[in-house]
């Protein structure tokens, strides 16, 4: 698979390490009253869709950036690649 | 029809005209006591033991394609019970004992061959870990032998013992482990279940669950609604998608695992050999092909095919272990979809929805577990209570902190 890195252009997916569902960006608030339940869901439960899946890839053998890749799990086709930083900021994070 | 040597001779002499189909092509009835979703190894074994052991014959197995077309036809056929943890070892040993009597039990040749499973170790630390695992197995009454380098040499002199990076220091042998004919396992269970009244309904995909007031009343399918008192889901690989239709999120990701077969060779490998340094496992089929595999591709996938980088990685593992296979040609390869659970261990449990039961999360280990998985799931469906050897396979173990983390990799399914 070729991942079209937003800064570096097309790169072989072998340069990357896969983490999993992009929802892992949204780490729950550890001080919330239901933090235990939220962290259980965050850590262990997955939507696991057959079709379009937003997921986190780390460019370990490249610029060490985190990407959010939208990929079809039925065909391995990649339709969009974003910097995870931009996705997190759009969610209101201030990293 | 019972199969026997006498029957075979009779058919040979009469031109093989007397064979009948091994199971009926059943039409769905409006209502069953128990519906099992998934006509793979685990689903068919569940139906077989429901009928044979637990006396439930008003049972249907629903399969979206043809039976045995999923993971039971897409694996490397290895059977073993060399596990470490208390939650796992009794379960897999129960499975091993069922394998040993399987063919006599369902009167079908599943070609169960206990040719031994040898795990190689390459460092002192790995040998210590194998010693511990072997001791744990012996404490559970399972056979295990720790071999030194000479012991391994006697079994498999052709291995690359002096590999500069991964010298072979010894191995853990389970002589009772081995292989079985995977398709025949599915067919044998299908035949056994069918002959006891179970309806095996092929080309019948489940498209939804009918749930009212927290109770599951049956399933919507491509062949209409089918009612049931209890519904069991055993669709490993597709668990995430099917259970999502019941509104559930699971501690599971689906990943593809590739397997390979070389061209036919003369008898070469004495049994199953696993390369502890690079996750490569290989055996030789009765037709002579080397059957081997390695790691999953490592990212979520429902495509029943893999990608080339893992092919390269697996073949590198094979070459490091047995340089002599470098000239053998790869005949074919395929991919199966694995339910990778968050601790690498399976789940057999009831769900929060009354009448809906779940069996999945088998990771790499589904094939060897087929008989015990079927027996334990049948026990759960028939009695609404877990079988003693599967009590640890709870759905809520991640919430309560009772994980069975055999590999110690934590909540990272692509590392298990």
Report DSSP letters for B248-308, one per residue.
--BSEEEEEEEEEEEEE-SS--SSEEEETTTTEEEEE-TTSEEEEEEEEEEEE---SS--H
Residue A94: what pLDDT? Answer: 77
- pLDDT confidence of residue B96: 98
Pair of tokens at residue B167: 């010298």
The helix/strand/coil state of A22 is helix
**B411–A13 CB contact, under 8 Å:** no
CB-facing half-sphere around the CA of A71: CA atoms within 13 A = 25
> Can you tell me the ipTM of this complex?
0.95
The answer to whether the Cβ–Cβ distance between B249 and A43 falls below 8 Å is: no
**What pLDDT is recorded for position B365?**
87
pLDDT at A24: 94
Kindly state whether B411 is in contact with chain A, defined as any CB-CB distance less than 8 angstroms. Answer: yes
Query: What local confidence, expressed as pLDDT, does residue A95 receive?
Result: 62
Low-confidence ranges of chain B (pLDDT < 70): none
How far apart are the C-alpha atoms of B73 and A19, rounded to whole Å?
29
Pair B363, B407: CB distance under 8 Å = no
Residues of B in Cβ contact (< 8 Å) with A21: 253, 300
Q: Spell out the SS3 assignment of B297-338.
A: EEEECCCCCCCHHHHHHHHHHHHHHCHHHHHCCEEEEEEEEE
Dist CA B249 CA B73 (whole Å): 27
Question: Tell me, what's the pLDDT at A93?
Answer: 83
Q: What percent of chain A has pLDDT over 90?
A: 95
Question: What chain A residue is nearest to B343 in terms of C-alpha separation?
Answer: A44
Q: Are the beta carbons of B253 and A13 separated by less than 8 Å?
A: no
Q: Distance between CA atoms of B26 and B174, rounded to whole angstroms?
A: 41
> With contacts defined as CB-CB under 8 Å, which chain B residues touch A53?
300
Q: Which position has the higher pLDDT, A31 or B68?
A: A31
pLDDT in tens, B65-109: 999 889 999 999 999 999 999 999 999 999 999 999 999 999 999
pLDDT of residue B211: 97
Task: Tell me which DSSP letter residue B113 carries.
Answer: B
- Which tokens belong to A92? 């209101």
Residues of chain A positioned with their CB less than 8 A from the CB of B398? 40, 43-44
| Chain B residues touching A58 at Cβ < 8 A | none
Considering only the beta carbons, identify the residue of A44, A49, A71 that sits closest to B398: A44
A7 Cα to chain B: minimum distance (Å): 23
Among A24, A36, A38, A44, pick the best mutation site for testing chain B contact (most B Cβ within 10 A): A44
CB contact under 8 A, B249 and A40: no
SS3 per residue for A34-77: CHHHHHHHHHHCECCCCCEEEEEEECCCCCCCEEEEEEECCCCC
Ramachandran region of residue B336, left (φ > 0), alpha (ψ -120 to 50) or beta?
beta
Is A2 in contact with A11 (CB distance < 8 Å)?
yes
């Amino acid at each position: 698979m070729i991942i079209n890195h937003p800064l570096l252009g097309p790169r072989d997916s072998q340069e990357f390490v896969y983490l999993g569902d992009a929802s892992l960006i949204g780490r729950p608030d550890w001080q919330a009253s239901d933090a235990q339940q939220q962290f259980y869901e965050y850590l262990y439960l997955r939507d696991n869709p057959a079709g379009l899946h937003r997921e986190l890839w780390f460019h370990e053998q490249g610029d060490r950036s985190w990407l959010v890749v939208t990929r079809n799990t039925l065909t391995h086709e990649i339709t969009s690649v974003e910097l995870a930083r931009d996705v997190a900021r759009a969610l209101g994070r201030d990293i | 029809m019972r199969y026997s040597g006498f029957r075979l001779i009779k058919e040979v002499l009469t031109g093989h005209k007397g064979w009948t189909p091994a199971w009926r092509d059943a039409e769905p009835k409006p209502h069953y006591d128990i519906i099992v979703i998934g006509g793979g190894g685990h689903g068919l074994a569940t139906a077989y033991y429901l009928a044979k052991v637990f006396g439930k014959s008003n049972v249907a197995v629903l399969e979206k394609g043809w039976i045995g077309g999923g993971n039971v036809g897409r694996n490397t056929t290895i059977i073993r019970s060399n596990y470490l943890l208390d939650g796992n070892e009794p379960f897999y040993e129960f499975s091993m004992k069922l394998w040993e009597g399987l063919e006599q039990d369902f009167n079908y040749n599943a070609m169960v061959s206990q040719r031994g499973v040898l795990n190689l170790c390459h460092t002192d630390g790995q040998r210590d870990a194998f010693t511990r695992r072997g001791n744990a197995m012996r404490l559970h009454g399972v056979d295990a032998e720790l071999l030194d380098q000479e012991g391994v040499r006697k079994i498999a002199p052709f291995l690359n013992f002096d590999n500069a990076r991964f010298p072979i220091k010894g191995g853990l042998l389970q002589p009772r482990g081995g292989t079985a004919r995977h398709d025949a396992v599915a067919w044998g269970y299908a035949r056994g279940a069918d002959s006891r009244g179970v309806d095996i309904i092929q080309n019948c995909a489940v498209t939804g669950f009918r749930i009212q007031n927290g109770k599951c009343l049956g399933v919507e399918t491509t062949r209409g609604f089918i009612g049931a008192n209890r519904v069991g889901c055993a669709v490993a690989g597709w668990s995430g998608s099917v259970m999502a239709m019941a509104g559930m999120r699971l501690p599971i990701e689906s990943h593809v695992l590739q397997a390979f077969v070389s061209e036919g060779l003369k008898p070469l490998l004495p049994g199953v050999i696993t390369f502890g340094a690079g996750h490569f496992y290989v055996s030789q089929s009765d037709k002579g092909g080397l059957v081997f595999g390695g790691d999953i591709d490592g990212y979520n996938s429902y495509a029943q095919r893999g990608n080339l980088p893992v092919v390269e990685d697996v073949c590198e593992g094979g070459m490091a272990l047995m340089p002599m296979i470098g000239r053998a040609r790869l005949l074919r390869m395929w991919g199966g979809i694995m339910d990778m659970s968050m601790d690498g261990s399976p789940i057999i449990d009831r769900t929060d929805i009354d009448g809906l039961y779940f069996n999945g999360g088998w990771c790499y280990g589904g094939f060897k577990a087929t008989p015990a998985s079927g027996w334990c799931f049948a026990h759960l469906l028939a009695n609404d209570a877990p079988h003693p050897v599967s009590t640890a396979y709870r759905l809520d173990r991640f919430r309560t902190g009772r994980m069975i983390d055999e590999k110690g990799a934590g909540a990272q399914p692509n590392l298990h």
